[in-house]
């Protein structure tokens, strides 16, 4: 494994930052997928998610 503990610590910090960034992207995509699914269900049932200001 690592010979120098300081080198290992320096490698862990960027790895954690990368993992946090990936986790954030996955969370955002999941949220958007849920919203898309909700929108599709509303559209399939004949309703709308948005108010129609013309009515």
The alpha-helical segments, DSSP class H, found in the chain are: 5-44
Give the residue, 13 or 25, on which the prediction is more confident. Answer: 25
How many domains would you assign to the chain?
1
* Stated pTM of the model: 0.54
- Asked whether residue 55 is assigned to any structural domain, the reply reads no
Q: If we measure between CA atoms, which residue out of 28, 25, 4 comes closest to residue 12?
A: 4
Q: Would you put residue 48 in left (φ > 0), alpha (ψ -120 to 50) or beta?
A: beta
- Asked whether residue 18 is assigned to any structural domain, the reply reads yes
Domain that holds residue 26: 1-44
- Asked whether residue 53 is assigned to any structural domain, the reply reads no
Residue 54 pLDDT > 80, yes or no?
no
Note the pLDDT tens digit of each residue in 22-40: 999 999 999 999 999 998 9
Which of these ranges, 14-23, 25-34, 44-53, has the smallest mean pLDDT? 44-53
Give the residue, 39 or 52, on which the prediction is more confident. Answer: 39
């Amino acid at each position: 494994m690592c010979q120098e503990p300081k080198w290992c610590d320096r490698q862990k910090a960027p790895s954690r930052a990368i993992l946090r960034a990936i986790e954030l992207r996955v969370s955002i995509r999941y949220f958007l997928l849920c919203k898309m699914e909700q929108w599709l269900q509303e559209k399939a049932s004949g309703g709308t998610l948005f108010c129609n200001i013309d009515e």
